Amino acid sequence: MSDLERIYGLHAVEALLRHHPKRVKQIWLAEGRGDPRVQALLQLAGQAKVRVGQCERREMDAWVEGVHQGVIAEVSPSQVWGDAMLDELLDRTEGPPLLLVLDGVTDPHNLGACLRTADAAGALAVIIPKDKSATLNATVRKVACGAAEVMPLVAVTNLARTLERLQQRGLWVVGTAGEAEQELYDQDLSGPTVLVMGAEGKGMRRLTREHCDFLVRLPMAGSVSSLNVSVATGVCLFEAQRQRRRGRPAS
């Protein structure tokens, strides 16, 4: 089974069965789990003709690091997209695109949280550098609660060159920096936008910063000087979403 990955948690496994059932080769359930959520999972597995087995919870604890909720799936390797995927996504999107760039975010928990928020806020894709960055693994999928299966994650060789290419396609690159003069809420994010978030603690790299059209900061009213990158990402993405929804008639 060395060529397979183990994905765990109800949300992550359910999302795989819904969106990429062919990737799922085997599902293991902890003995004694037969609640309604598991029954719904079994129904999806049956529709996809995926084998389901039972195992002692103690043995499953040794398979993965984290809370597996009594559900583990053995799946074909994760899919991370390359540079060419960006052009394909932009060519088929309608309306002003919103892209999220994570410049050197190495904590898989933060990457998973950012993928979840990006999906919720309507981002087109999440872009990361191939080097010195977290990538898709079981922890990321668990934290993302299914968003890792639907939100394209694009790993690029040269982030600065990618930003240049996106600018040439008419997107504005907005980077976040604590020392920026302009606040997030004064920046127009309603058009085609690339939002760049820096690494935990260090922020954006110098070359990435130089390729930003605008720099913005979050107004901090308390004693702390910064937010966790996944929290800051949520604030910024939903401000972009708010601006894009502004002016629409109430449903």
Distance between CA 40 and CA 80 in Å, rounded? Answer: 28
CB 143 within 8 A of CB 8: no
Checking if the pLDDT of 99 tops 50, the result is yes
Q: Which DSSP state fits 134?
A: -
Largest Cα–Cα separation, the chain: 57
Is there a binding annotation on residue 215?
no
Helix, strand, coil in percent for the chain, rounding step 5:
40, 20, 40
Cα–Cα dist 17/47, whole Å: 9
**pLDDT tens digits for range 105-157:** 999 999 999 999 999 999 999 999 999 899 888 889 888 888 888 899 999 99
Does 16 belong to an annotated binding site? no
d(CA 56, CA 54): 7
Q: Taking a C-beta distance cutoff of 8 angstroms, is the pair 103, 176 a contact?
A: no
Classify the C-alpha dihedral 155-157-159-161 as positive or negative.
negative
Reported as a single tens digit per residue, the pLDDT across 7-49 is 888 888 888 888 888 888 999 998 888 788 889 899 999 999 9
For position 251, what pLDDT does the model report? 36
User: Is 218 labelled a binding residue?
Assistant: yes
Rounded to whole angstroms, how far apart are CA atoms 6 and 27? Answer: 9
Please indicate whether residue 144 or residue 165 has the higher confidence score (pLDDT). 165
Q: What is the pLDDT of residues 10-21, one digit of tens each?
A: 888 888 888 888
